[in-house]
């Protein structure tokens, strides 16, 4: 029998896992918005595509490379493919629209989302698929009734490594500095000789690759993949990016973790009160968004931008 504190700590762990998935996808939203001010609503479908690619690759190599080595190889393959999809999407759908009004660009993003969504739906015949990792989900660290499995620990380590790697890349490499410069003033970057179109393409590729990491880890943790999984997850990841401050890399991480923790702890709280917590978990995400935007319109770590006339 769980005590109250054991329930809270167990849900805290579960919330960290879910929040790390949200954070990885939210990073793509923030990176793209920060550099070209686009709400890339196709990003959730890129995440779904990464999950399917991971499932497909692991199905081919699982006998030769079982367990975590095979899963890592599958995730890396999914990262490469989704990075290519993200790059090609911006090259042929978004780049010709960069000088168009933002509304036109956003409608284009919705169109790209529908194309990917319906393409995968047709390819999979609308059927869910199941991911059999072959991992033992019972092994781990047990403290009383609290259980932290090795799968959860490895997932948190992979997610944290991806976030830290992105932070170092943005902060310490010339390409990362170019991304930050373009986010501040694209026209001046052109005058300084920065290949703006190339940097924008790489930004899309990196964001898509991070979404594939989240998709692959989702396969392992939940064990199923379906064509509609990117819709609500993408909206929640976008919500996490807005909560943290859209365009802010640390904000996306904070927003994702906060959203995951709120869902897990809020669901448990309502369940303990005799209410179906799982039925209300989506309301937590958007309720939090409304409250934060009322008091912090720019998000928790967002900055107020002053436009000079």
- Return the domain boundaries, the chain: 23-133+143-295
Residue 2 has pLDDT above 80, yes or no: no
* 183-236 tens-digit pLDDT: 888 888 988 889 999 999 999 999 999 999 999 999 999 888 999 999 989 999
* 9-65 tens-digit pLDDT: 888 898 899 999 999 999 999 999 988 888 899 999 999 999 999 999 998 998 889
DSSP 304: P
Q: What's residue 292's pLDDT?
A: 81
Residue 138 has pLDDT above 90, yes or no: no
Q: What's residue 291's pLDDT?
A: 84
**CA distances to 41, 71, 81, 298 from 65, in Å:** 35, 8, 20, 46
Q: What's residue 309's pLDDT?
A: 42
What is the DSSP track for 69-131?
HHHHHHHHHHHHHHHHHHHHHIIIIIGGGTTS-HHHHHHHHHHHHHHHHHHHHHHHTT--EE-
User: Which of helix, strand or coil describes residue 301?
Assistant: coil
* 258-274 tens-digit pLDDT: 999 888 887 777 777 77
Residue 308 has pLDDT above 60, yes or no: no
* 19-34 tens-digit pLDDT: 999 999 999 999 999 8
Q: What's residue 272's pLDDT?
A: 75
**Structural contact between residues 41 and 106, judged by C-beta atoms closer than 8 angstroms:** yes
Question: For residue 296, which phi and psi values (nearest 5 degrees)?
Answer: -135, 80
- CATH topology classification for 23-133+143-295: ABC transporter involved in vitamin B12 uptake, BtuC (1.10.3470)
DSSP 164: H
Query: Residue 1: which pLDDT band, with cuts at 50, 70 and 90?
Result: low
Supply 117's token pair.
Answer: 């969504």
Q: Using CA atoms, how far apart are residues 259 and 262, in angstroms rounded to an integer?
A: 5
**Structural contact between residues 40 and 109, judged by C-beta atoms closer than 8 angstroms:** yes
Q: Where are the alpha helices (DSSP H) in the chain?
A: 4-36, 43-61, 67-89, 102-124, 150-172, 174-184, 186-191, 196-222, 229-244, 249-272, 277-295
**Structural contact between residues 214 and 35, judged by C-beta atoms closer than 8 angstroms:** no
Q: How many CB atoms lie within 10 A of CB 150?
A: 15
**Structural contact between residues 259 and 19, judged by C-beta atoms closer than 8 angstroms:** yes
Mean pLDDT over all residues of the chain?
88
Q: Using CA atoms, how far apart are residues 70 and 196, in angstroms rounded to an integer?
A: 37
């Amino acid at each position: 029998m769980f005590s109250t504190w054991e329930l809270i700590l167990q849900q805290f762990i579960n919330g960290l896992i879910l929040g790390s998935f949200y954070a990885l996808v939210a990073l793509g939203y923030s990176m793209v918005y920060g550099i070209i001010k686009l709400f890339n609503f196709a990003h959730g479908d890129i995440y779904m595509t990464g999950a399917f690619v991971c499932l497909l690759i692991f199905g081919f190599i699982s006998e030769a490379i079982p367990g975590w080595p095979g899963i890592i190889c599958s995730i890396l393959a999914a990262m490469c493919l989704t990075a290519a999809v993200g790059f090609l999407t911006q090259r042929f759908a978004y780049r010709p629209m960069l000088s168009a009004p933002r509304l036109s660009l956003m409608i284009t993003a919705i169109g790209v989302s529908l194309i990917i969504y319906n393409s995968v739906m047709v390819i999979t015949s609308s059927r869910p698929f199941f991911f059999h990792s072959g991992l033992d989900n019972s092994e781990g660290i047990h403290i009383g009734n609290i259980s932290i499995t090795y799968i959860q620990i490895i997932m948190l380590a992979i997610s944290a490594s991806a976030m830290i790697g992105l932070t170092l890349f943005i902060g310490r490499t010339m390409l990362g500095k170019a991304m930050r410069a373009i986010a501040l003033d694209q026209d001046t970057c052109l005058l300084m000789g920065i290949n703006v179109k190339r940097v924008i393409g790489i930004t899309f590729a990196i964001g898509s690759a991070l979404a594939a990491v989240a998709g692959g880890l989702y396969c392992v943790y939940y064990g199923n993949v379906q064509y509609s999984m990117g819709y609500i997850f993408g909206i929640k990841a976008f919500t996490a990016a807005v909560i943290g401050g859209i365009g802010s890399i640390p904000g996306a991480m904070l927003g994702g973790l906060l959203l995951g923790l709120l869902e897990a702890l809020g669901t448990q709280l309502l369940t303990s009160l005799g209410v179906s917590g799982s039925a209300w978990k989506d309301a937590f995400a958007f309720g939090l968004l409304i409250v934060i935007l009322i008091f912090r319109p720019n998000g928790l770590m967002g900055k107020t931008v002053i436009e000079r006339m």
